[in-house]
Structure 1
Amino acid sequence: MASYQALNSDDPSPCTEVTAIAMTGAEPVRHELIRTFDASRAGYSIEDSLDLAPRAPEDRIALLTQQPITADLPPAEPRGAAAASAHWAREGRALHRRLVMHLEQAMARHHRHGLTLLNDLDHSREEMRARARACVEANRPVLTMAVAGSLENWLAVGADFTLSISLLVVRDRRLATAVITPRNALVADFGSTYRMDARGGWRYEPRDVDGRVAQATGKVLIPQPRNTRECAWYRRLDDPTLAKETGAGIADAVVRGALPVGVHSAAHVLDSAILLVAAASDFAVRPLGIATEPWCSWETAARMLTALREDPRFPQLLIGRERLAIDRLDRQLA
């Protein structure tokens, strides 16, 4: 727990300070996800939008006899499925704005240190990367927030593997990341991982990953297929778990769950906070289809910083509890 205590000291090192910034940003995002999901279960009924008939009795009679309706009717609004789609899109945008607002409020005290906040609601991914790169090159602290997956789908369906939120923090050329899912909030720097507990505090995660939970032998997590090549994966795997947003799936099912290995979709660096979280937790991380040594946490952080400056996209990556597991899956998917 010495590392966690150092985060709250009066004079933290640059490394522990960058981790503390990531924690400070992850807390309000996680709390808002929980609050919003609980509230969304309370009140919207699609049945309310299915009544297409006029309300007044005389108008209903006129409709039956094909006579023109003379009453002034309000402008037509979306009904049925269209109304539901519009509702969840509106709810998703509102949640996105609240996440940004709570993050900005929580990080307000860091503004005096010149911390730059970037989010994917107000900027595109490339605009965020360009501004983050300028901050890194000028040695100015920067925090980015990117939503991976779909806020609307998560609100409407409640599926945990449809959403994750990635925070990247760079200060003094040191990187810390946070991945927030409906189930977990995890923060990592180059050598340590922390998890938010049920009371909203942070707990140091030990690196002995094999002793946490028994592995679910034979099970793997893979992205939902986008083409015929990926569809062919299913015929080679005994019991695959599909994830629309693999950052959430790997955080919950692999790093915090029992699945021994997963495939992380090709993704933008701003959506890839899970990579450092997994590497810092002693999971093996390496590209799919390339026989190479797994990336350690130092190398993963260096590659992510390089991606901010150069090519922002990572290839599909294997993430597993041990090297044998990812090597075996690589051969199956070759």
Structure 2
Amino acid sequence: MSQLGSPFTLKGLTLRNRVAMSPMCQYSVEAEDGAPNDWHFVHYVSRAVGGAGLILVEMTDVEPDGRISNRDLGLWSDEQIPAYRRIVDEVHKHGAKIGVQIAHAGRKALDAEPPVGPWSEPFDNTAKQPRALGTEEAWALVGKFADAAARAVQAGFDTIQLHGAHGYLIHQFHSPGINKRDDEFGRDKAKFGVEVIKAVKAVLPPDMPLLMRVSAIEYAEYAYGLDHMLEIARAYRDAGVDMFDVSTGGEGGPAVKGTPGNYPGYQVPFARALKEALGVPVSAVGMLDDPELAEHVVASGDADLAMIGRAMLRNPYWAIDALRRLDGKTDLFAKAYERGYYGHR
């Protein structure tokens, strides 16, 4: 068996393989109330049928104005829980596990009037002017993250991922170039993220792992480097993060300190760096479309899971196709599709 096809266990979560679907916003036109609809149901369940070990539901926000757009998902109301539970229950029927990425867009909220953030500088020269959060408002948002996580638990999710990357609110707080506050959330750049982690952990079952996506480096004029992220991630680990999903960038502004790579596996070295420095499991992302590359990333120990994004948008059955290519067979396909596979394997 390939390493990509081998099970993976983290606390009380066991995955049938090491293929994970990255959270990717759907911007569904029918999602204006923040609840998933039939599009999301088909989208996520089809990837479970397609053999993924873990499916991560797209960025799901803690309040309406925390969304990137008004077509994004949210978990700010108990009324939204049943729609998520419907997806979770059906995904489980097909053998996959499912988590949800909880977030707040901060100054990158396109439809908020106005957006909020740790500081009053806009994302770029075309973005809206954000309003700097007061200290008590920041504490209130910590509570909203916990409330959203509690609703995710009620919906039956197997794990939760906090979005601390790509220039969204948690990232904004731990970025020295964005967070210029002089209160407790400014003097300690990790504090907002740490408090969110602690609040969320308090509402999770003890055996449920908490995941977190981070940007290992930035690319803007004010960019932080890997050493800064290692310091921040160490605080996040100590606060309760069980696994990091390692990406880069997304902070905004002119990219004067380099640009993101555009080649397969370009972010894998950052995942390996966090794993080695912090001694925790990591997942890697970034053009891991080729099954042999995804296998190498996992088999070499660079990462514990391969996060598949755009390739899984193109092909819901990426996991089945990849494992058939690597192992020559797989039993992941549904019986209804059996005759679509030569030799039924």
Structure with the higher helix share, 1 or 2:
1
TM-score (norm 1): 0.29
Bigger radius of gyration = 1
Structure with the higher strand share, 1 or 2:
1
